Structures are given as C-alpha cells and as structure tokens.
Amino acid sequence: MKKEKITLEYPLNYAAEHILWIMIGSPLGLSEWFSDGVTVEDDLYTFTWDEHDQSAYLLETIEGKSIRFQWEEDKGTDAYFEMKIVTQPLTGHVGLLVTEFAEPEDVDDLTLLWNKHMEDLRRKVGV
C-alpha cells in the first residue's frame, strides 16, 4: 500500500529561528526533543527511543531553514520526512512545518506522535 503525504504545521510564535534550527538541524538538538539519542555516520542518522533504533538517510539540508530525511525502510520510494522553519511575512511569527508519509491507517497515530514531539520542542525552546 502506498503511503500518503501528511503535512502538519506547528506555531512556535516566539521561538528564535536560530535556536529552532539548532534543535532540528543538529544531532544534539534532535536528541533534546525528537529522540533519546542520535548518532551520525556519513549521511545515516540513527535515532534511539528507549531500546529501539531507527535509521534515516539525510537527503537535503537548507542551512537555517529545513532538513529532510528518508527512513531506511522507505529507501527507493518517494517517502520522506522533513522539518521546515517557516516565518509569516506579516507577523514575523515562526512555525515548524512537518511533512511525512504514512500508511493511511497510521496517520492518526503519527499525528499524535508529532504533537507529542512538538510539546517537547516547545518546552525546550521556551515557547
């Protein structure tokens, strides 16, 4: 079954973009809120949750703006997950746009998981 693309936007109105970039664009930052630990070997990031590891390839980085990965299990498909910092031009409010692919029956669970991650991120960046 083909995975469907989901896009989630999280307002982080008073977060500083450079702090947010550290949190999404570095292994240390990602281990603060996204996973329990991150190791990197070349372009392969291994994320650890409790005793479970999951690896993803770094596909693209736009310094200070976005980072895109592909889970190892999705290799050879169009599926990826991306975190992109967005700034509203009129208000200057900052947000994080998350794009990921999931099986249709997993969309709700994946959304809940990202909501939990965002709670952790908000605490870490102080918004």
Q: Could you report the per-residue pLDDT of 6-33, keeping only the tens digit for each?
A: 999 999 987 789 999 999 999 999 999 9
How many domains does the chain contain in total? 1
Residue 53 domain boundaries: 4-125
Structure tokens at 121: 């991120």
* Contacts for 56-61: CB closer than 8 Å, 24+ residues apart: 56/81, 61/25
Query: What global pTM score does this model have?
Result: 0.92
Residue 37 · residue 116 · CB < 8 Å: no
Alpha-carbon distance 35 to 38, whole Å? Answer: 7
* CATH number (domain holding residue 23): 3.30.530.20
Q: What is the pLDDT of residues 56-112, one digit of tens each?
A: 999 999 999 999 999 999 999 999 999 999 998 888 889 999 999 999 999 999 999
Collapsed DSSP state (helix, strand, coil) of residue 43: coil
